[in-house]
Amino acid sequence: MDLVKEAKQQIENLTPEQVKNEVSKGATLIDIRESEELQQSGKIPGAVHAPRGMLEFYADETLPYHKPEFDKRKKIILHCASGGRSALAAQTLKQMGYDNVAHLDGGIKAWKEAGEPTE
């Protein structure tokens, strides 16, 4: 957990309300959980699925796996189940040259606890 704590000190940590506000202004929300997790607990409406294991491949525009949702000109917000993986993933994207990246602190768990919708 020290790695997660360290990552959170180096990235932007957003509340569910802040995420909702950023998405309404055009930020891209990316769900890095595994497919099974989405089936078990639903997903945040509008979130793009990109499993953590594929993140670097989807984010690297020189690779054939690159997804257009990974756009360095836009704000990208990552989330997972409770915020650990997304903190580490946000730190990784920063190392890859993504300057405008954040994560949903507390993950989809915090989203649901805040009364926000899932599908």
Rounded to the nearest integer, the mean pLDDT of the chain is: 96
Task: Report pLDDT for 3.
Answer: 94
Q: Which residue has the tokens 């990109």?
A: 50
Find the domain containing 33 and state its range.
Answer: 2-113
Q: Let me know if residue 22 belongs to a domain.
A: yes
Per the structure, the count of domains in the chain is: 1
Q: Let me know if residue 14 belongs to a domain.
A: yes
Q: Let me know if residue 101 belongs to a domain.
A: yes
Confidence of residue 100 (pLDDT cuts 50, 70, 90): very high
pLDDT, average across residues 17-42: 96
Q: What is the CATH number of the domain that holds 31?
A: 3.40.250.10
Task: Report pLDDT for 77.
Answer: 98
pLDDT digits (tens, 9 = 90+) for 31-76: 999 999 999 999 999 999 999 999 999 999 999 999 999 999 999 9
Task: Report pLDDT for 1.
Answer: 66
